[in-house]
Homo-oligomer: A and B are copies of this chain.
Amino acid sequence: MSSDAPGLLGAACPVPITETDQVLMGHGSGGKLSAQLVETLLLPAFRNPALAALDDAAQVSVGGTTVAMTTDSFVVTPLFFPGGDIGELAVNGTVNDLAVSGARPLFLSLALILEEGFALAELRRVIESIQRAAAEAGVQVVTGDTKVVNRGKGDKLFINTTGIGQPIPGVSLSSANVRPGDQILVSGTIGDHGVAILSTREGLSFSGGELRSDTAPLATLVEAMLAATPGIHAMRDPTRGGVAATVVEIAARQRLGIEIDEAALPINDAVRGACEMLGLDPLLVANEGKLVAFVPRAECDRALAAMRAHPLGRHAARIGEVVAEHPGRVVMQTLIGGRRFVDLPFAEPLPRIC
């Protein structure tokens, strides 16, 4: 193990990953190709402190007031899936990026790119779903845009939501705060969203129960956690690339070691079965209603109790800790007693899950 901590990209990838001149599906996957695009093209073009923090939401100053801002486009296919649809996802995804950055979500923009020929009845269902999800999350849709592209130049419906919110006073959540000794908590079962999308798309079913997306707005869970344990260092919502992408990114950027205990990972039986059959690692599969928290050791029990007292945190668990050893690396204690590195794949295996 080298103490010459590698960057997010270099970690364990001897392949020269710049060897393509075209956009690949993996550029949008949350894997190494995504990271490469961000690090080599986007970050250098737009260097500024708010962007460089690379947290789930940027913090900017408008007239002396700090405003949190985040954006996400949603290209999930199919549009409707067990547990949710693209509209609900578009609200919750953006609201959650604000929430885990320590901001109270307030307002959303809503931009639709429609494909010619898309059924207006389906659009209506999606809009109604956005309406419900916004009401549940306590945010208002205040501005919007609609574009239409020719048949065959889109895929029914893409949605962008951009959210702004107000940082909760006295709260500072940022991956820059993470320290050795921090305990890593996850708010519930992992992999539900990605596996539900995949099984719907491929028409697969598995024993062990229904596969449903976990899409949900996390702001009230975050507020409950912060009320109980204001000293939480950082939170993330582990969407594309799953919990693995979250911990690998924080380990690499903050030059910290992370240890994950595979036996502690909360996983639904149906998701576990599906992942075994499909050869997927649940740690790499997207979630849409979960958060990962980095909590000082002394506050871990209190944070866990607060999470478990909230309906969206009932299955919260401690899954690992931050260590001073092996900076830049995530190591998993496996179920069978071994230890292995956790790394991001070149391209995550589930495209268009959000």
Contact = CB atoms under 8 A, between A and B. Distances in A.
Interface of A: 20-29, 34, 37-38, 41-42, 45-46, 48, 50-51, 57-58, 60, 62-67, 69-75, 106-107, 109-121, 123-124, 127-128, 130-131, 134, 140-150, 152-155, 158, 160, 162, 164-166, 351-352
A120 B21 contact: yes
Nearest to A50: B142
B23 A114 contact: yes
A41 B127 contact: yes
Given A45-B128, A46-B142, 17 more contacts: A22-B120, A23-B117, A25-B150, A37-B146, A42-B144, A45-B141, A48-B141, A51-B141, A51-B142, A60-B164, A63-B166, A71-B144, A71-B160, A111-B162, A145-B160, A149-B158, A154-B154
A190 B35 CA distance: 43
A110 to B, nearest CB: 7
Copies in the complex: 2
Contacts of A41: 120, 123-124, 127
A62 B164 contact: yes
Nearest to A155: B153
Question: Top 10 nearest A-B pairs by Cβ distance?
Answer: A28-B148, A71-B109, A162-B162, A65-B65, A58-B142, A153-B155, A160-B160, A50-B142, A46-B141, A58-B143
Contact of A72 (B24, B57, B69, B145): B145
A205 B45 CA distance: 35
Contacts of A22: 116-120
A149 B142 CA distance: 28
Contacts of A65: 62-65, 67
A142 B20 CA distance: 27
A113 B45 contact: no
B116 A148 contact: no
Contact of A143 (B57, B115, B121): B57
